[in-house]
Structure 1
Amino acid sequence: MSKVTRSPSRGASWSCNRPFVHFDDAEEGDDEHVTEEAGTRPMKMTSTPINANVLDSDIFFEVEDEGPDETAFFSPSSEDLTVEQPLNSGVVEANTANLNKDSTETEATPSSSNSPDSVWDTDFHKMHMAAISSNKFDSLLKMLPAFHDCKSHMAAFVLVREVPETSCNYYQVVALGTGHCCCTSWLCFNGTMVHNCHAMIIARRALQRFLYKQLLLFFDADPQAKEACVFESSADGPQLRLKDDISLHLYTNLCPEGAARDFYMRGSAFNTRTPVKLQYHAKSLLVPAAHLNPSHWASKVCCVSPTDKLCLWTLVGVQGALLSHFIRPLYITSMVLGGQKLYADRLSDITAECLGDGWEDILPPFYKKFRTRFLCCEEVRPVEASPQRDVLSVNWCLGDGDVEVVDPSKGFLDHSSPSMSGAGFSSRLCKRAFYSYFRKVAQLGGHAYLRDLPDYHHVKVSLQMNSSCGCVRVFIFACVRAHQVEAGVYQTIKELVKQHFLSNHCGPWNSKKLVDFFSA
């Protein structure tokens, strides 16, 4: 094994097991091993601690010789081989997907011959999404029974890949989150606090962390690592795109809080709909935005409801502003809800109607108003949930050595969390940790100018323009021609969505801008 080392002694560090990338906080006893099956070799995950407060330290590389077929991601030709990886607390590993047949971690499923998308409407898809999400949670928490009650509010993102020349799909859980609370403390201005710990929000942040790891694979010098990545280059622009045969899906065992679950009403007599109002989580309550005191949201943590976030994602994608520097918008193909079908119908109505029509005249290439399929199946929950434990928030993404547990009331790690990678009990999902991931990807991807931006806020809003100007479309396409789509266009579209809500008397969508002014 050859090895090149640069200052591994302090701060955030990074290990590359070529063609696999790893930087994680897994304890030595927590390593997972791939058993020898169908010609694949066992692989041990190593770990390197990361200090969340030191974001710009040197990088530690470790190189190992690996077999040529150990890099495939969802590759049926490699005996259902899949690639996992974690970050800031992350590991990239190769793992056979069918090691545990009971977990249905990755399985071939029949697809419809009528339409490429009709498979998402089948009962098999709905039940399989629920089963693999539930089994992934159970396998992660198998040795941690104290946290099993967190399953009462769970969400999971699943990548599905079509198998070439077959009528099958392969499913893989890549991110998971639990929780149903928001932090109620004063705003934190150094980026170390996790504000919103609702299951769908945490699962989305875990997904973003997984996407950063995929970018590390793509920018790795080894061509096998790039082949294993879920992204690919495009001749249409500098941003990477999700491979054509891969789609993103979401499972949640409860309807997200907000208008769909708590305030939505449709009049059956005249087929009219009560206007959707923006909702905020504040003071441990869900309140309409119009009733929120400005002095409160300016000083205390207040979070827009998950339902409203879901509406936004149908337009801008789930990747967020920072990842928009590197990848195209990433949309949720289907969302499977556990529980009553009524909620799935409500979510479908709200996301389709609240933003209205006509966006195609404004949105730049690759952005669109995406119509997510909302489906319903049986909910998966613990038999009895302990009030002391189900308030905690668990997060994990593919390849992590262990789950991380956050105390939502504080926005920092719970003292009993199996994984603790950040300084001062900060989570691997906090803004500061994501800023660290972003800077590392920017460095490897040759985007040095992004590292030169002074702080997290400027990275998020770079190239943003006042969306009230009548030249928004001209501005956006000018950015596209200049290969400067990046986060500025994402933020401009987000501002248009906020203005749309405000002009339709839905209430203000207030951003926590002051919390973004921290630097490396």
Structure 2
Amino acid sequence: MSSRGADIKENQNLDQVFSKQADANGGAGGRKRPLEEGSNNRRSHPHGYKPKTRKKAPGLVAPKNALMQLNEIKPGLQYGLRSQSGPVHAPVFVMSVEVNGQLFEGSGPTKKKAKLNAAEKALRSFVQFPNASEAHAAMGGTPSVLTDFTSDRADFSHVLFNAFETSAPADDPFYSPADSGFSFEPDPPQFSFPPRPSALAGAPASPRHPKNPVMILNELRPGLKYHFLSESGQSHAKNFVVSLTVEARTFQGSGRNKRLAKARAAQAALSAMFHLQLDQEPSRRPVTREGLQLHLPPQVLADTVSRLVIEKFSELTDDLTSPHARRKVLAGVVMTTGPGVKEARVICVSTGTKCIGGDHTSDGGLALNDCHAEVVARRAAIRFLYSQLELRLSGDADERRTSVFTESEDGRGLRLKGDVQFHLYVSTSPCGDARIFSPHEVGVDDEGGGRPGRTARGQLRTKMASGEGTVPVGCSDGGVEGQRLLAMSCSDKMARWNVLGFQGSLMTFFTPPLYFSSVVAGSLYHAEHLSRAMYRRISAVEPLGAFVLNRPLLSGISNAEARQPGKAPHFSVNWTAGDEGLEVVDATTGKDELGRPSRLCQRQLYRRWSRLHCGLSSVLRIGTGTPSSYHEAKQAAVEYQRAKQAVFMAFLRAGLGAWRKKPPGQEHFAPFP
């Protein structure tokens, strides 16, 4: 073979080797020594031969993290190490950076994470956006869907900066790589040491403690052992429970991973034994209720209520393997009967996001018009209360004592036992005024084509027949895609419950109004918006007898619920303490899957009330006769009706709209056919 032929053969062999190496390394970019521009000449590749170049497969461009963003805006910034503290196995680094003449500090378990934290604070100091979409566009992010604050299908994206792959969310001190995708909060939660009244009177407050709860507890009580108790839920919504014992007292914590559950258990121990409180940003702090009798921090109560409801739902759906475990919104009511939560009991759970259409309404009270989870939970709670009233009619003295009701002092009615309280959990802020403005502040009004601004806050809103979103009461029925508006939003209904009680008009024949002691939102919790929706917008309502404006404890949970994937199902489920299993209701018809009336429909509840009225009238010396129809029974609750009109007038006087009333023909039915 000639020398020229050998050169050609050798070059071809080299090309094949480089091509194989490129394939192994993901394309042409894998060459150790890529060909330089212009090297494709006759000597290297005679006869016009050109090696094939493999294009790199297109892929998603990862969003830039805070360090990268800040470096583009302010190149050449210098980061310095300010301090290093903590034990060797859990160090805490503090890094600083100067931007626009202002010094920003960030902390983290590594210098890299501390730099990222400092960069985030620097960016937030001068980068502001009117809404989430503009923030994503400006910072290089691409939200997967458009955010709709009125829809049950809304996906709220909290991610403004893309963190390092191994960086931890600020609200998760025990982050694992499986939890990637959660964002940093503007102000990372930290523990603060409250001053003791006797020893620190007049002294300045202690500085924030940058350590996580497990680190703090380990310094206070070294050598503590954590025990894994249980694991539940599907892969996208796992829930782990961990316990720990401190000085013969046991504390539990739950979370989406074991590390987070461990942190929650440590938080509970610190709160109960050392009075260390979690310092949160203002919009996330619980709104406390005056006179709440539970002797434990609000956050511990909220987390416990959430955990109990989720665990009960998991139990009822065979650890979420049942087809009826699909849900967008979960609600439940927890009853406590003492100063703590050891005797806490779930009395009902429900799911649902829909309202029935106008074609399926029933004039005989046989259909559930509103199948939103919190509305169904309230009906299930009423059913539970009826069962407790029925215990008062039992001939067995022991059974009578198990009832949550006892005779009032004047002997003319019943009242709750002194330590009984009810707590409502909803996996997301209720639709309407509480949800539409959360979690972002938006300054664009309706006329500008954007989302509602400050002028629309507090307005009464109605649901649509499909259950997808709410609109102000001033909108005409035909103005919203031709769909008939049916019911008031959940925010509006819950505001009404905070004056009239959640027990309904009929039960006021037997008891004074019953109020929720706390309302816990699993996600989209915003203290200002939720408190306004629940009671502040009608603060001018006038008390009428036993009916007053209730101000429940409002709180989010430490580990916000993840969005449930998939489309909202067209069914609603409910369960009340004493039931063998779930009842499944077709949310488009308001009846069960076989077309039968639900056990929570008006007719069924009215039947139980009628029996109770006959049995308790003589015992409680109720002066009214037996009503002949559901409408007549409701109107006979005179004080309740007056208080209801006072609520409607409070909304009107505040300029928030007129309450939409049901057609009167839907209530003229007897308890028995």
Tell me the TM-score range normalised by the shorter chain.
Answer: 0.5 to 0.7
For 1:321 and 1:410, the matched residues in 2 are separated by 25
Match of 2:646 among 488, 496, 499: 496
Tell me if 1:123 matches 2:294. no
Per-residue deviation, 1:382: 7.8
Match of 1:374 among 536, 554, 561: 554
Structure-1 residue corresponding to 2:313: 137
Pairing of 1:88-237 with structure 2 (within 5 A): 117=293, 119=295, 121-142=297-318, 145-162=321-338, 169-186=342-359, 187-236=361-410
Query: What is the RMSD of the two structures over their aligned residues, measured on CA atoms?
Result: 3.4
8 Å Cα contact 1:180/1:198 also seen in 2: yes
For 2:559 and 2:353, the matched residues in 1 are separated by 16
Per-residue deviation, 1:151: 3.8
8 Å Cα contact 1:439/1:451 also seen in 2: no
For 1:310 and 1:272, the matched residues in 2 are separated by 21
Per-residue deviation, 1:112: 6.8
Partner secondary structure for residue 445 of structure 1: helix
8 Å Cα contact 1:147/1:390 also seen in 2: no
Partner secondary structure for residue 290 of structure 1: coil
State the TM-score, normalized to the length of structure 2.
0.51
Could you say if the C-alpha distance between residues 204 and 380 of structure 1 is closer, same or farther in structure 2, counting changes exceeding 3 Å? farther
Per-residue deviation, 1:327: 1.4
Per-residue deviation, 1:252: 1.0
Per-residue deviation, 1:307: 0.2
Pairing of 1:198-277 with structure 2 (within 5 A): 198-236=372-410, 238-263=412-437, 274-277=456-459
Structure-2 residue corresponding to 1:430: 601
Partner secondary structure for residue 371 of structure 2: strand
Partner secondary structure for residue 324 of structure 1: helix
8 Å Cα contact 1:153/1:199 also seen in 2: yes
Could you say if the C-alpha distance between residues 301 and 215 of structure 1 is closer, same or farther in structure 2, counting changes exceeding 3 Å? farther
Partner secondary structure for residue 358 of structure 2: coil
Structure-1 residue corresponding to 2:655: 505
Match of 2:629 among 452, 455, 479: 455
Q: Give 5+ residue unaligned stretches, structure 2.
A: 1-251, 255-267, 276-290, 444-452
Match of 1:312 among 472, 490, 496: 496
Structure-1 residue corresponding to 2:508: 324
Partner secondary structure for residue 332 of structure 1: coil
Per-residue deviation, 1:383: 7.6
For the pair shown, which has the larger CA radius of gyration, 1 or 2?
2
Could you say if the C-alpha distance between residues 378 and 181 of structure 1 is closer, same or farther in structure 2, counting changes exceeding 3 Å? farther
8 Å Cα contact 2:272/2:296 also seen in 1: no
Match of 1:349 among 532, 539, 550: 532
Match of 1:282 among 461, 464, 472: 464
Letter matched to residue 606 of structure 2: Y
Structure-1 residue corresponding to 2:615: 444
Tell me if 1:334 matches 2:334. no
For 1:359 and 1:460, the matched residues in 2 are separated by 21
Q: Deviations over 1:55-85 (max 9, x none)?
A: xxxxxxxxxxxxxxxxxxxxxxxxxxxxxxx
8 Å Cα contact 1:266/1:272 also seen in 2: no
Could you say if the C-alpha distance between residues 345 and 504 of structure 1 is closer, same or farther in structure 2, counting changes exceeding 3 Å? closer
Per-residue deviation, 1:500: 1.9
State the TM-score, normalized to the length of structure 1.
0.65
Q: Deviations over 1:419-446 (max 9, x none)?
A: xxxxx51100101111111111112213
Structure-2 residue corresponding to 1:12: none
Residue identity over aligned pairs, in percent, reads 27
Could you say if the C-alpha distance between residues 501 and 266 of structure 1 is closer, same or farther in structure 2, counting changes exceeding 3 Å? farther
Structure-2 residue corresponding to 1:89: none
Q: Give 5+ residue unaligned stretches, structure 1.
A: 1-101, 416-423, 463-486
Letter matched to residue 388 of structure 2: Q
Could you say if the C-alpha distance between residues 369 and 430 of structure 1 is closer, same or farther in structure 2, counting changes exceeding 3 Å? same
Tell me if 1:395 matches 2:574. yes
Q: Deviations over 1:102-157 (max 9, x none)?
A: 999xxxx9997998646464332121111111000011111873435434310110
Per-residue deviation, 1:158: 0.5
Structure-2 residue corresponding to 1:49: none
8 Å Cα contact 1:185/1:410 also seen in 2: no
Could you say if the C-alpha distance between residues 233 and 277 of structure 1 is closer, same or farther in structure 2, counting changes exceeding 3 Å? same
Letter matched to residue 371 of structure 1: R
For 2:428 and 2:601, the matched residues in 1 are separated by 24
Q: Aligned pairs, how many?
A: 372
Letter matched to residue 503 of structure 1: R
Per-residue deviation, 1:331: 0.6
Could you say if the C-alpha distance between residues 294 and 152 of structure 1 is closer, same or farther in structure 2, counting changes exceeding 3 Å? closer
Per-residue deviation, 1:340: 3.6
